[in-house]
Structure 1
């Protein structure tokens, strides 16, 4: 037993990744504005946390360029992708350099100056309330200050390396 937990079997990380590939999730682009311009990443680990106050939970790998901008009280946007925005997801998932990502899709500045994707399922303007480091990631609790939603419901869903 290390640190009070049973030892992890050698094959568990690979089995865990295989299990999580079976978990279907909607795709979002989480973005902030840095000194050199907007920075963003694709995320499937975004979930509603509470309605009072309105808040979401986002898990962000600490190795991403975006992570350096994430501190309590920092603003960020969460853009829930529509089914026809697979190219945006692929670009922000690492298929395109950080400098080129915001050239894919139709981006505009929201009323708070945060990057906002046109025709997304929803756009959330948030401010970070709290962060918790865990393993390779930070768990970010973001208070929602603004929300807009599209008329239709057609989310982009990702599972097992493909879009559904």
Structure 2
């Protein structure tokens, strides 16, 4: 017989599959080393001061390095860069362990590298908080490169593109 918590967890994960999210790559660089990972758990916190948050698994390499480096860059990928999302998700690590090898980068002084063509938020870590299996990193935004491109999205276990058939709702 399944435990109620297992059933609830399963239902929770199925429910979250129905939430469309932009796809981003979090990069970090510093004394602990350079790394990057594909994520969809991030959001804006405040415009004053500009602050974002990212959620990373506690047991992940990226979380450990962000915690030690005290910097991260949130790169919101444009919809045509599914290849970068797959690379930083680790799909090709056995063929090429350097995830940065074939990616054009933007150097951000004192911050982690940005990915060319992405909307970039270069951040200093200002606060961390553990919640369950994840660490929440709050980042004060020190650099922004805003691209006017449609983001790559993730929904129901697959990468998706946003269509141009938007509907405007009246107030």
**TM-score class normalised by the smaller sequence:** 0.7 to 0.9
- 1:16-55 correspondence runs (5 A): 16-35=12-31, 37-55=33-51
Query: Residues 4-153 of structure 1 correspond to what in structure 2 (within 5 A)?
Result: 8-35=4-31, 37-71=33-67, 74-97=70-93, 99-120=97-118, 122-150=119-147, 152-153=148-149
Q: Distance in 1 between matches of 2:87 and 2:68?
A: 27
C-alpha distance in structure 1 between counterparts of 2:32 and 2:111, whole Å: 14
Segments of structure 2 that go 5 or more residues without pairing to the other structure are: 161-171
Q: Distance in 1 between matches of 2:15 and 2:101?
A: 34
What secondary structure does 1:63 align onto? coil
- Higher relative strand content: 1
Over the aligned positions, Cα root-mean-square deviation in angstroms equals: 2.1
The corresponding residue for 2:168 is: none
TM-score, normalized by length of structure 2?
0.83
Structure 1 moving runs of 4+ over 4 Å: 34-37
Change (3 A) 1:50 1:115: same
Structure 1, gaps ≥5 residues long: 1-6
